[in-house]
Chains A and B, each alone.
Chain A
Amino acid sequence: MIGQIGRRLMATIPVMGVVAIAVFALLRITPGDPAVIIAGDYATSDDIARIRAKLGLNEPFVTQVGIWLGRIVRGDLGTSIFSGLPVSTLIRQRTEATIGLTLFAMLISVGVGVPLGVLAAWKKASLVDRLVMLFAVSGFSMPVFWLGFLLVYVFAISMHWLPVQGYRPLADGVWPFLRHLILPAVTLSVVYMALIARMTRASMLGVLSEDFIRTAFAKGLAPRRVLIHHALKNASLPVVTIIGIGFALLIGGAVVTESVFALPGLGRLTVDAIIRRDYPVIQGVILVVSGVYVLINLVVDVLYVVLDPRIRY
């Protein structure tokens, strides 16, 4: 099994390589020029040319890629063109907010989505089932920011229960940290929750139709025990997979959510960087985020193996 994990790990390297080069290439083709923005309002063409040279933008593409990859391997993600701060510092400043938001959202999604899915599977084809599924589908049909504005309007502006915007780092205390993340996390979780509910229901339906379940009932076991101990455990595998796939969805939603709630997260950092063509930041963040995504999928794959001894690669 260790061998399998090791092999999977090795397989991620070329993937990350592709990501790295794709991101790099993407940005270098761009017509927008950071040198012009940096050069300021009074720059002449000479100034701009000099800045381009200093940023190494005139080197042949392959050389630029080489230099960049070399630095990455040493852990140096470069320096932001605009603020002059190291990319790793910028990422570090913003990671806590995004991780907090994402984990909180995932917690809510799983905590609400799984029970909903189980309920729907249990009451298959009944009104309850239809309603739950309708709710789930509506969840990921709504634009995230629309829902966000709605929630802010109701809970923050009208009822003053929660803050309108902003972020408190964990260092300021657990409750302030959570309080500022409740609305954004709920907004973000709705999409994810829907997916999890659907997946859980589908998976549960598959399991519930199996013979061993009928046997368990025949043995006289309490329904709740059957449902949770036998059915759910076996149905959990695809749900675990969805957590991995869903991560990419969450990041996408986080980008928009951070914008609505003014959270200092990686999503906003990337959007700002993309608009300004701050190459090092864009490259660094996409690389890091993709890396985390690949890692999560790896963990999911491993969990898969661990949870289901029937599967072997």
Chain B
Amino acid sequence: MALSPPVAADFALPAPAARAGALDTARRALLRHPTLIAGALTLVVILVAGVLAPLWWTGDPLEMKPAVRLRPPSAERWFGSDNFGRDIYTRTLYGSRISLTVGAAVSTLSLVLGTTLGLVVGFYRRLDMIAMRVMDGLMAIPAILLALALMALMKASVQNVIIALLIPEIPRVVRLTRASVLSLREHLMVEGARALGARTPRILARYVLPGLVAPLIVQGTYIAASAILFEAYLSFLGAGTPPHIPSWGNIMAEGRAYVQLAFWIILFPGIFLAATVLAINLVGDGLRDLLNVR
């Protein structure tokens, strides 16, 4: 592997953007991030496929037709059928609803809850000590074990899966927010504002939050990606969404016994899952570069 010496271009600063209209700037910025676009487009496709599932030549995801069980992909059944004769194509498309819902819900909720907690904790020193120990403690438990334990407490349902997945994510968001708050707290602007008599919530809203938006959005995309994967893991281990509700994790879990007999049961949801998670991760990366988040 021959290593070429660095060229001046590698260390050059990016050319300043022309001051043409905002749309132009945006377009140019996006063109520099093809993966961001690719990821976003993929997500849109999957979202449309899921939300408008009934439109895409699908059948009933729950309908069992034992007479045509374990059939390979064909013209009638694009992704084949499972051991109950259910159509994998239909189930995969409907499955995207569940997975995307879980991803979005876990992401949004953990951001909202984590940010609130982080802001509060960052501002009130006394709470900080206890809260951070608790957060550290929670982070020390491997996320999947925590989620599993939580699922074991509760009945299987999409709601509970969301709860079980968002709790392990909160500590990280809290840390992020808190770090931001701590660094900004001492900032002159804040001191000045306080001197002028501004109340805490106002300070938080005007000075701290804006700086947090970008990193939180990026973190949010990673949380969504992780949540979608984890839902699949929970279902695989038998502690995820209820079985008659098709989610990608569920479909693959049920197809587990058929790896050699009917690998299409695991193949297609797996491809969709990987593609979705990949897309979200690419969007996250792209956003991070775009918004200049460290």
* A contact residues vs B (CB 8 Å cutoff): 14-19, 22-23, 26-27, 29-32, 119, 122, 124, 130, 134, 137-138, 140-146, 149, 152-153, 157, 208-209, 214, 217, 223-224, 227, 248, 251-252, 255-256, 259, 270-271, 274-275, 277, 282, 286, 289-290, 293-294
- Shortest B73–chain A CB gap in Å is 17
Which of these binds chain A: B88-96, B107-115, B147-155? B147-155
Which B residues, 26 to 60, have Cβ-Cβ distances below 8 Å to chain A? 35
- Shortest A139–chain B CB gap in Å is 10
B5 within 8 Å of A by Cβ?
A: yes
CA distance A282 to B239 in the complex (A): 16
Which B residues, 225 to 269, have Cβ-Cβ distances below 8 Å to chain A? 225, 229, 232-233, 236-239, 249, 252, 256, 259-260, 263, 266
B144 within 8 Å of A by Cβ?
A: yes
Question: Are B145 and A143 within 8 A (Cβ)?
Answer: no
CA distance A67 to B274 in the complex (A): 46
Chain A contacts for B74, CB-based, 8 A: none
B162 within 8 Å of A by Cβ?
A: no
Question: Are A141 and B143 within 8 A (Cβ)?
Answer: no
Chain A contacts for B4, CB-based, 8 A: 223
Known contacts A153-B259, A217-B5, A255-B145; is A29 also within 8 Å of B153 by CB? Answer: yes
Chain B 125-164 near chain A by CB (<8 Å), digits 1 or 0? 0000000011011111111110011101100000000000
Question: Are A277 and B152 within 8 A (Cβ)?
Answer: yes
Question: Are B274 and A256 within 8 A (Cβ)?
Answer: no
Question: Are B152 and A142 within 8 A (Cβ)?
Answer: no
CA distance A282 to B142 in the complex (A): 13
Q: Which of B142, B274, B282 contacts A289 (CB 8 A)?
A: B142
Interface size on B, residues (CB 8 A): 48
CA distance A224 to B3 in the complex (A): 7
Q: Which of B35, B238, B270 contacts A143 (CB 8 A)?
A: B270
List the 4 shortest-distance A-B pairs measured between CB atoms, nearest first: A18-B137, A252-B144, A141-B278, A141-B277
Chain B contacts for A23, CB-based, 8 A: 141, 149
Chain A contacts for B281, CB-based, 8 A: 137, 140-141
Report the nearest A residue to B139, measured CB to CB. Answer: A248
Question: Are B225 and A141 within 8 A (Cβ)?
Answer: yes
Question: Are B236 and A18 within 8 A (Cβ)?
Answer: no
Chain A contacts for B11, CB-based, 8 A: 209, 214
Chain B 1-21 near chain A by CB (<8 Å), digits 1 or 0? 101111000110000000000
B82 within 8 Å of A by Cβ?
A: no
Question: Are B259 and A30 within 8 A (Cβ)?
Answer: no
Q: Which of A15, A32, A130, A224 contacts B136 (CB 8 A)?
A: A15
Known contacts A134-B35, A141-B225, A146-B274; is A26 also within 8 Å of B140 by CB? Answer: no
CA distance A270 to B141 in the complex (A): 12
Chain B contacts for A157, CB-based, 8 A: 260
Question: Are B141 and A145 within 8 A (Cβ)?
Answer: no
- Shortest B57–chain A CB gap in Å is 26
Q: Which of A122, A130, A138 contacts B3 (CB 8 A)?
A: A122
Known contacts A209-B11, A223-B5, A277-B152; is A137 also within 8 Å of B285 by CB? Answer: yes
Chain A contacts for B104, CB-based, 8 A: none
Known contacts A223-B5, A271-B237, A275-B239; is A137 also within 8 Å of B278 by CB? Answer: yes
B273 within 8 Å of A by Cβ?
A: yes
Report the nearest A residue to B226, measured CB to CB. Answer: A140
Report the nearest A residue to B285, measured CB to CB. Answer: A137
CA distance A144 to B134 in the complex (A): 30
CA distance A296 to B5 in the complex (A): 37
Report the nearest A residue to B150, measured CB to CB. Answer: A26
Chain B contacts for A217, CB-based, 8 A: 5-6
CA distance A27 to B153 in the complex (A): 8
Can you list 30 A-B contacts (CB < 8 A)?
A: A15-B133, A18-B136, A19-B137, A19-B138, A22-B137, A22-B138, A22-B141, A23-B141, A23-B149, A29-B153, A119-B1, A138-B274, A141-B229, A143-B232, A143-B236, A143-B270, A144-B233, A145-B236, A145-B252, A145-B256, A146-B266, A149-B259, A224-B3, A251-B144, A252-B145, A255-B144, A256-B233, A274-B152, A289-B141, A290-B140
Chain A contacts for B5, CB-based, 8 A: 217, 223
Chain B contacts for A271, CB-based, 8 A: 148, 237
CA distance A313 to B100 in the complex (A): 42
Question: Are B238 and A31 within 8 A (Cβ)?
Answer: no
Q: Which of A15, A143, A153 contacts B137 (CB 8 A)?
A: A15
- Shortest B254–chain A CB gap in Å is 13
Known contacts A32-B152, A141-B225; is A146 also within 8 Å of B270 by CB? Answer: yes
Question: Are B149 and A274 within 8 A (Cβ)?
Answer: yes
CA distance A15 to B141 in the complex (A): 11
CA distance A285 to B126 in the complex (A): 32
Chain B 185-196 near chain A by CB (<8 Å), digits 1 or 0? 000000000000
Chain B contacts for A224, CB-based, 8 A: 3
CA distance A143 to B3 in the complex (A): 35
CA distance A313 to B28 in the complex (A): 44
Question: Are A286 and B141 within 8 A (Cβ)?
Answer: yes
Chain A contacts for B137, CB-based, 8 A: 15-19, 22, 290
Question: Are A290 and B141 within 8 A (Cβ)?
Answer: yes
CA distance A255 to B239 in the complex (A): 13
CA distance A282 to B141 in the complex (A): 12
- Shortest B248–chain A CB gap in Å is 8
Report the nearest B residue to A124, measured CB to CB. Answer: B10
Report the nearest A residue to B275, measured CB to CB. Answer: A141
Report the nearest B residue to A294, measured CB to CB. Answer: B140
